[in-house]
A and B are shown apart, each in its own frame.
Chain A
Amino acid sequence: KQEVTQIPAALSVPEGENLVLNCSFTDSAIYNLQWFRQDPGKGLTSLLLIQSSQREQTSGRLNASLDKSSGRSTLYIAASQPGDSATYLCAVDPQGGSEKLVFGKGTKLTVNP
């Protein structure tokens, strides 16, 4: 059974810092991996989708990498801002086309001005 772990559960950094959020999964046979952002009381916003054949994806100040063989993904946030404060979740699609995403419990990020 696929399990997704995100460490740390919470992270607090000063504004301007570059930071890395970690995601690990137990079964390397994944179809894709997706990073989401969730603001308090809101739904999930998709940030980046990495297909299993890809190594990384970039969007603005965000860069996500994927190492299937080691069961790891990282989300790199450059020059963090207070507006980046949110919970970040990663999710894997363990079966091609099924889209039955398995989610980690998230990392709650606080960027202090």
Chain B
Amino acid sequence: DAGVIQSPRHEVTEMGQEVTLRCKPISGHNSLFWYRQTMMRGLELLIYFNNNVPIDDSGMPEDRFSAKMPNASFSTLKIQPSEPRDSAVYFCASSTGQGGQYFGPGTRLTVT
């Protein structure tokens, strides 16, 4: 199995631009998670889906952030408009729901 796939691996954009991060979970996993990692705050859960349905988005920082999962093999996290404080590494993870999450390599986002 290829594991969780994320794209792009690196993204540099200017403040105010729209950013879209993509994730392909492991085939057969029915839960998908988006995390953000910064030096100051560590790893934070933003939102998670179960069977393509958003279950908890309480970690989404504000309305500029949105996430979708149109099917079992694809999810997006969108930031519009982006701000410098959004600079972080964004991870996607998936699981079978039986315990144990598998993480992708992350997208390093820099907003200038």
Interface set of A (CB-CB < 8 Å, partner B): 31-32, 34, 36, 41-46, 49, 51, 89, 91, 93, 97-101, 103-106
In the complex, A46→B91 CA distance in Å? 14
Given A89-B43, A103-B42, A106-B42, is A43 in contact with B101 using a C-beta cutoff of 8 Å? no
Instruction: Determine if A34 and B104 form an interchain contact, defined as CB atoms under 8 angstroms apart.
Output: no
Number of interface residues of B (CB under 8 A): 22
Among the listed A44, A97, A99, A104, which residue makes an inter-chain contact with B103, where contact means beta carbons less than 8 Å apart? A44
In the complex, A36→B33 CA distance in Å? 16
Instruction: Determine if A101 and B45 form an interchain contact, defined as CB atoms under 8 angstroms apart.
Output: yes
Among the listed B42, B95, B104, which residue makes an inter-chain contact with A99, where contact means beta carbons less than 8 Å apart? B95
Contacting residues of chain B (27-73) with chain A, CB-CB under 8 angstroms? 31, 33, 42-43, 45, 48, 55-56
* Neighbouring A residues of B100 by C-beta, 8 Å: 34, 46, 49
